[in-house]
Structure 1
Amino acid sequence: MASCFKDESSLFRFVVKEGNGIKGLVDSGLTEVPARYIQPPHQRIYKQQLAASPENIVIDLSELDGPNHDQVVKAIAHAGETLGFFQVVNHGVPLELLESLKAAAHKFFGQPAEKKAAYLKGASSCPNVNYGTSYLPDKEDALQWRDFVNMIYTTDADALEFWPNECKQEALEYLKTSTEIVKRLLEALFGNLGVKVEDSRLDALTGLRKVHMNFYPPCPNPELTVGVMRHSDMGMLTVLLQDGIGGLYMKKGENTPPGNEEWIEVPPIHGALVINIGDTLQILSNGRYISAEHTVRTTSTAPRVSIPVFNAPHPVVKIGPLPELVARDGVARYRELTFEEYRNNLHEKDREGKNALKFATV
């Protein structure tokens, strides 16, 4: 522990309560990871767990408009059924915007702590903007090695008024341009299942949208920590921009026995966006598509940023297996509930891995 911290309480106050974050911890001259950030062995990823032949699917979205439409839909569906994630290129989001977005993230997290602390929970003037560190630091035994700022979208006007000046223009444009990607992918995924979901229903299922900027400072002992614990996303689809450093890993397979998991690194590809399926889409598809369990490893080399856009249902929207699929399968693998019920349970219970899905499982 850096010499300026007398005990774990003063460390926690500095990092979490005062808003200095992991970046402030590293900037203080930290030379080794404090005990509170050392993850239990089962949370870490070891070299022997990495898949020998990484299976990464890169899909050219522009081909959805051409003669290869059917083959592209099959490739999207296959990735959704087997891995829960894939990468897309020629997706329509300007590459210049993606570069500006990464620079804007670095600009926000590079500010003095008091500037960022204005967005701490309970201090922010806007409930739709939240700056913090780890996930639920007051409840976690081992903290995660990342800082974040979370921006929930309501209207363009609110975003431009309340989102941080350092990144609001880029974040808003990223959210808006990624919306078309989500719509096209969901049309392909539902079409592959032979079901038609009306536009109004799709809008409700993806109506809760937010831009989440992650910042992972370099770590003196990356083998002991994680940037983000193992989890799956709650919503429908996540659109993720990662920089060129790498560190995102997806779990291969749904029911691998503990200790025998294989993890696939999602390599950074310039101009590509990572798409991963969330729990809500797994529920709606009656288990046909699988949400991607993933984690983030830390690095000692350089600060890393990643910027997902989460697309989830409005809280009051009911989620459950689509009736056409239940009739075809002869069984409903998940019960119907509101997204708010699902989300509240996830926040109250162990979020590790895909434990949250047990709450919805019949």
Structure 2
Amino acid sequence: MEIERVQEIASLSNLKGTIPSEFIRLENEQPATTTIHGVVLEVPVIDVSNSDHQSLVASISEASKSWGIFQVVNHGIPNELISKLQNAGKDFFELPQEEKEVIAKPIGYEGVEGYGTKLQKEVGGKKGWVDHLFHRVWPPSAINYQFWPKNPPSYRETNEQYVQSLIPVADNLLGLLSRGLGLEDGEVKQGLGGEDLIYMLKINYYPPCPCPDLALGVVPHTDMSSITILVPNEVQGLQVFKDDHWYDVAYIPNALIVHIGDQIEILSNGKYKSVYHRTTVNKEKTRMSWPMFLEPPPEFEVGPIPKLITQDNPAKFKTKKYKDYVYCKLNKLPQ
């Protein structure tokens, strides 16, 4: 049987100090030649406990316009809960392979939920050095426990606790983004599906890679969702494209990294920018990350908020169902 999981390939190729050719990027994509070395990008760090609301709105708005990414501190999610989330995910990926395969994406399955490796059409047959697990965690009506690990036993409870702590943080961020557009607190959230907004968790597992200068974990992309709220581990890997160069993003313990995604760019009519990013891999250490994608329901139509459209500022994007947007993006079709 051909081994397809990167975690298994890593355990073999480490013996030889090489990686299969399908993981070697073209020269103009290789981290060694495209990263600005020695410079860690100081993406805005925002203290969301700041009592000066106007100043908070201004910082989030500015970060979303000029960077499309920022880190938030003093967000209110206990550090111990973030550690529990990380440990539960790590324990799952350290299980024997056959136990992980129990929740693998079924053959022919069109959805993204489940354990797997390949995500979308691979350009030129190239692969990312990463395995992943996807499953929805909110609202309850959207959850399919078939794709939640039964091991470790604490997995479900930990993830349920985490999402309950994350919802108020996400609501606060969406409210601040709304204010930054000159709208009422709830208008951005309503424009994304309101209380039906779907929380999709992904766990990325990037095993040690013998040739980190030649491979990428995840190729350059913007997120399809509205915003992504990400917990990283301490191993460097996230890079952002800024001023025509790739830069490492600094790791801040217990901070949450917030990405502006495509739906917020659309909804804001281009005022906020979806961040173009990728991930690199490490020679000695496993990198992991826990992005939570806040997605509109599949049938929900997202387009520029009408209040933001004027004669001088016409709509720059089409209004379309989220599922249709996703289909076009995954199949590399024009929007």
Fold match by TM threshold 0.5: yes
Q: Residue 142 of structure 1 is aligned with which of 108, 122, 126?
A: 126
Shift, 1:268, TM fit: 1.2
Contact 2:41 2:250 in 1 (8 A): no
Q: Deviations over 1:103-140 (max 9, x none)?
A: 11111111111111111221699x78410014237776
Q: Secondary structure at the match of 1:144?
A: coil
Partner SS for 1:151: strand
User: For residues 326-345 of structure 1, what are the structure 2 equivalents within 5 Å?
Assistant: 326-327=309-310, 329-345=312-328
The question of 1:114 aligning with 2:98 is answered: yes
Separation in structure 2 between the aligned mates of residue 247 and residue 53 of structure 1, nearest angstrom: 11
CA 1:123–1:94: 2 relative to 1, 3 Å:
farther
- The counterpart of 2:202, out of the listed 180, 198, 212, is 212
Cross-structure match for 1:257: none
State the one-letter code of the partner of 1:178: L
- What is the correspondence of 1:1-362 to structure 2 with a 5 Å cutoff? 13-15=2-4, 21-28=5-12, 30=14, 31=16, 32-46=18-32, 49-50=35-36, 54-63=41-50, 66=51, 68-122=52-106, 129-136=113-120, 141-153=125-137, 155-156=139-140, 158=143, 163-165=148-150, 166=152, 167-196=155-184, 197-198=186-187, 201=190, 204=193, 207-253=197-243, 261-327=244-310, 329-349=312-332, 359=335
Note the C-alpha offset of 1:148: 0.5
Q: Deviations over 1:54-79 (max 9, x none)?
A: 3321111111xx2x221111111110
Kindly indicate whether the alpha-carbon contact (under 8 Å) linking 2:203 and 2:288 is maintained by their aligned counterparts in 1: yes
Rounded Cα–Cα distance in structure 1 between residues aligned with 2:108 and 2:80: 30
Question: In structure 1, what is the Cα distance between the partners aligned to 2:61 and 2:274?
Answer: 13
- Quote the Cα distance in structure 1 between the aligned partners of 2:21 and 2:146: 40
Q: Could you list the per-position Cα deviations for residues 188-220 of structure 1 after superposition, in whole angstroms to 9, with x for gaps in the alignment?
A: 111111123448725615612111011000000
- Give the direction of change, closer, same or farther, for the CA distance of 1:29–1:224 in structure 2 (3 Å limit): closer
Structure 2 gaps, min length 5: none
> Judging changes above 3 Å, is the alpha-carbon distance between structure 1 residues 211 and 271 closer, same or farther for their aligned structure 2 residues?
same
Counterparts in 2 of 1:107 and 1:289: CA distance versus 1, 3 Å: same
SS in 2 for 1:327: coil
Q: Deviations over 1:268-314 (max 9, x none)?
A: 11110100100000001010000011100011021111001000101
Distance 2:108 2:54 in 1: 47
Q: Secondary structure at the match of 1:101?
A: helix
Structure 2 counterpart of 1:45, one-letter code: P
Unaligned runs of 5+ residues in structure 1 are 1-9, 16-20, 254-260, 351-357
Q: Give 1:45 deviation, angstroms.
A: 2.9
For 1:149-203, what per-residue CA distance to the aligned partner results, in whole angstroms no more than 9, with x for missing partners? 1011355595667511223222232223222122111111111111234487256
Preserved contact between residue 238 and residue 276 of structure 1 (Cα < 8 Å):
yes
Tell me the SS of whatever aligns to 2:213.
helix
SS of the residue corresponding to residue 190 of structure 2 reads helix
Q: 1:274 to 1:329 in 2, by over 3 A?
A: farther
Distance 1:200-1:134 versus aligned 2 partners, 3 A rule: closer
Instruction: Tell me how far apart the structure 2 counterparts of residues 230 and 170 of structure 1 sit (CA, whole Å).
Output: 31
Calculate percent identity across the aligned residue pairs: 29
Distance 1:299 1:62, change over 3 A: same
Distance 1:194 1:229, change over 3 A: same
